[in-house]
């Protein structure tokens, strides 16, 4: 199984997603600041993978602290978490994972620093293991929506690489393939940084799942030609009403899907759901460097000095979704109710 983020001997080992698909390279982070840099520069990316990396960064930070009075340790650890929280703004999983780490600290603060650090490391490892288990369950749940012979379009990379392992949207397709369903996947290349062409295509090839790569601007034509039966994507944040933030270009696909009567599914774990936000308009959208648009892999493709707008995500309103697949089941409209029911106990934060 492809593993993205691994805790190993008090270090965090990451598959370098910027090196893929040309090289399968692993980098070892010894300090939490190195994990922050890896999240920022997309060495590790994808909402659940960012969450797991953030939790491990916090654990790494805790292991490096000197022996301190309890209150000072608490302050220093929370400061490390605050720093990690600045790495990227859109994916809910990053903040969710840090909340779990802070809660772990609060629950175990009285047990002495050595034990406390062990608890924090164990919590980060649990977040990682739970993510893989949740993805497998999500895959099982979602595969019921996939039929033998389906042609399915996906956008960005919501695979093993975007998680601790197995994947969300791609996990659903992986599960359908494992069940022997004959599926074929159309992969959007996903400009500007090509998570589809570089990462999803790499994963599908590795798994021998039949797939065809297209550029983003081809998707509408394929739908018009009747070549797409279903669309499935992941999400970076889902608000209380079911609006989703996902990789830029997702909204266009959802609108096209509606125009062509094609089911549009979202697969995401509960850790992506943010019940504190009522609608998608409240989701902070990351804007990334213009160089992602004006060049590719350091080769300049636009005139020097060209003005660029580079939002990394967009918002797809809930009305365009056919269902939301989670590890706890498939959510149907109205999402305000189905999400409220699912997140019972977590709803009023
Ligand atoms: O900028 P990225 O590569 O981190 O964006 C990732 C996505 O938009 C994914 O589709 C999303 O995180 C869901 S992944 C399970």
Give residues with Cβ within 8 angstroms of 127, minimum separation 6. 51, 52, 55, 97, 100
**Atom in ligand 1 nearest the alpha carbon of residue 234:** 13
Out of 150, 236, 274, 314, which one is annotated catalytic? Answer: 236
Q: Which CATH class is domain 140-343?
A: alpha beta
Kindly report each contact of residues 16-19 with a partner whose C-beta sits within 8 Å and lies 24 or more positions away, as own/partner.
16/43, 17/42, 17/43, 17/44, 17/45, 17/161, 17/198, 17/199, 18/42, 18/43
Q: Is 229 buried (19+), middle (13-18) or exposed (0-12) by CB count in 10 A?
A: middle
Q: Is the CB–ligand 1 distance for residue 47 below 6 Å?
A: yes
Binned at pLDDT 50, 70 and 90, residue 1 comes out as confident
* CA distance linking residue 222 with residue 49, whole number of Å: 31
- CB of 171 within 6 A of ligand 1: the answer is no
Q: Which tokens is 90 given? A: 């859109």
pLDDT at 46 over 50: yes
Could you give the angle at the alpha carbon of 147 between the alpha carbons of 273 and 156, nearest 5°? 45
Give residue-wise pLDDT tens across range 23-40. 999 999 999 999 999 999
118-138 mean pLDDT: 98
Q: Which residue has the least CA distance to atom 5 on ligand 1?
A: 46
Tokens 């983020």 sit on residue? 5
Indicate whether residue 246 lines ligand 1 (CB < 6 A): yes
Q: What is the CATH number of domain 5-135?
A: 1.20.120.420
> Could you identify the residue written with the tokens 């850790």?
271
Ligand 1 centroid to Cα of residue 179, in Å, is 26
* pLDDT beyond 80 at 141: yes
User: Cα(144)–Cα(214) distance, rounded to whole angstroms?
Assistant: 26
Q: Could you give the 3-state DSSP secondary structure of residue 155? A: coil
Query: Taking the domains of the chain in order of start, what are their residue ranges?
Result: 5-135, 140-343
Active site residue 274: no
What is the pLDDT, as a whole number, of residue 24?
96
Distance (Å) from CA 258 to ligand 1 centroid: 22
For residue 345, the model assigns a pLDDT of 55
Distance, CA of 162 to CA of 173 (rounded, Å): 14
Which tens digit of pLDDT belongs to each residue from 243-282? Answer: 999 999 999 999 999 999 999 999 999 999 999 999 999 9
Note if the pTM is more than 0.95. yes
* Residue from 88, 174, 247 whose mutation best tests the ligand 1 pocket (most atoms within 8 A of CB): 247
Which residue shows structure tokens 């370098």?
Answer: 16
**Ligand 1 atom at minimal distance to the Cα of residue 45:** 4
Residues pairing with 237 in the sheet:
245
Ligand 1 centroid–CA 47 distance in Å is 5
* Cβ–Cβ < 8 Å for 165, 135: yes
Quick one: pLDDT at residue 349? 35
31 Cα to the center of ligand 1, angstroms = 24
Which letter, b or e, does each residue of 152-181 get, where b requires 16 or more Cβ atoms within 10 Å of its Cβ? bbbbbbbbbbbbbbbbbbbbbbbbbbeeee
Location of structure tokens 């074929």: 184
Tokens of 294: 């004006």
Distance, C-alpha 222 to centroid of its chain: 26
Could you tell me if the CB of 315 is within 6 A of ligand 1? no
pLDDT band at 344 (very low <50, low <70, confident <90, very high): confident
Residues 58-82 pLDDT 10s: 999 999 999 999 999 999 999 999 9
CA 246 to ligand 1 centroid distance, Å: 6
């Amino acid at each position: 199984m492809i593993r993205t983020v691994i805790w190993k001997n008090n270090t965090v080992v990451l598959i370098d997603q910027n090196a893929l698909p040309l090289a399968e390279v692993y980098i070892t982070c010894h300090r939490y600041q190195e994990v922050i840099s890896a999240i920022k520069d997309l060495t590790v990316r994808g909402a659940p993978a960012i969450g797991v990396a953030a939790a491990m960064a916090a654990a790494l930070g805790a292991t490096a602290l000197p022996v301190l009075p309890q209150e000072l340790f608490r302050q220093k650890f929370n400061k490390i978490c605050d720093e990690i929280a600045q790495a990227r703004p859109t994916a809910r999983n990053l903040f969710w994972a840090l909340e779990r780490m802070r809660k772990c600290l609060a629950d175990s603060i009285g047990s002495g620093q050595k034990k406390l650090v062990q608890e924090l490391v164990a919590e980060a490892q649990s977040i990682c293991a739970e993510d893989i288990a949740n993805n497998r369950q999500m895959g099982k749940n979602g595969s019921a929506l996939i039929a033998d012979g389906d042609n399915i379009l996906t956008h960005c990379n919501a695979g093993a690489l975007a998680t601790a392992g197995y994947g969300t949207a791609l996990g659903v397709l992986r599960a359908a393939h494992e069940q022997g369903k004959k599926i074929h996947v159309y992969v959007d290349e996903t400009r500007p940084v090509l998570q589809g062409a570089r990462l999803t295509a790499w994963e599908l090839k590795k798994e021998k799942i039949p797939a065809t790569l297209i550029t983003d601007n081809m998707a509408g034509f394929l739908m018009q030609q009747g070549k797409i039966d279903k669309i499935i994507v992941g999400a970076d944040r889902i608000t209380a009403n079911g609006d989703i933030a996902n990789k830029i270009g997702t909204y266009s696909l959802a609108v096209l899907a509606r125009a062509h009567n094609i089911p549009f599914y979202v697969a995401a774990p509960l850790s992506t759901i943010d019940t504190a936000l009522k609608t998608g308009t409240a989701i902070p959208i990351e804007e990334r460097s213009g160089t992602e648009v004006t060049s590719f892999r350091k080769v300049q493709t636009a005139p020097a000095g060209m003005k660029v707008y580079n939002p990394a995500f967009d918002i797809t309103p809930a009305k365009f979704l056919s269902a939301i697949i989670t590890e706890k089941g498939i959510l149907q409209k109205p999402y305000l109710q189905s999400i409220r029911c699912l997140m019972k106990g977590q709803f009023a934060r």
